[in-house]
């Protein structure tokens, strides 16, 4: 079905489905550029293990390092 037939019947052409408008993609880019960086980006712990940046920010180390440090404190007490 050509575009003239689609606009004459008032129906949306199947060829236009799934293609976002330029305006929506521009809005998406503006909103995502203004957002804070994703906290799930990968970083390296001091032990060399790759973990999420959020985990390093919250605990200061990977789960294995935090668990080891906690066990060492318990054994020393």
- What pLDDT does residue 71 have? 92
What tens digit of pLDDT does each residue of 25-42 get?
777 788 777 766 666 788
DSSP 17: T
- What pLDDT does residue 48 have? 92
- What pLDDT does residue 11 have? 55
Residue 74 Cα distances to 34, 55, 58, 70, angstroms: 44, 22, 21, 6
Contact between residue 42 and residue 50 where contact means Cβ atoms under 8 Å apart: yes
For the chain (77 residues), the mean pLDDT of every run of 10, in chain order, is 52 55 74 71 90 87 92 87
Residue-range domain boundaries for the chain: 42-76
């Amino acid at each position: 079905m050509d575009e003239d037939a689609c606009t004459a019947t008032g129906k949306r052409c199947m060829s236009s489905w799934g293609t976002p408008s330029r305006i929506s993609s521009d809005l998406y880019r503006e909103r995502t550029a203004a957002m804070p960086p994703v906290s799930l980006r990968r970083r390296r712990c001091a032990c060399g293990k790759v973990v999420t940046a959020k985990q390093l920010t919250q605990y200061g180390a990977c789960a294995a390092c935090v668990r080891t440090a906690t066990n060492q404190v318990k054994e020393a007490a």
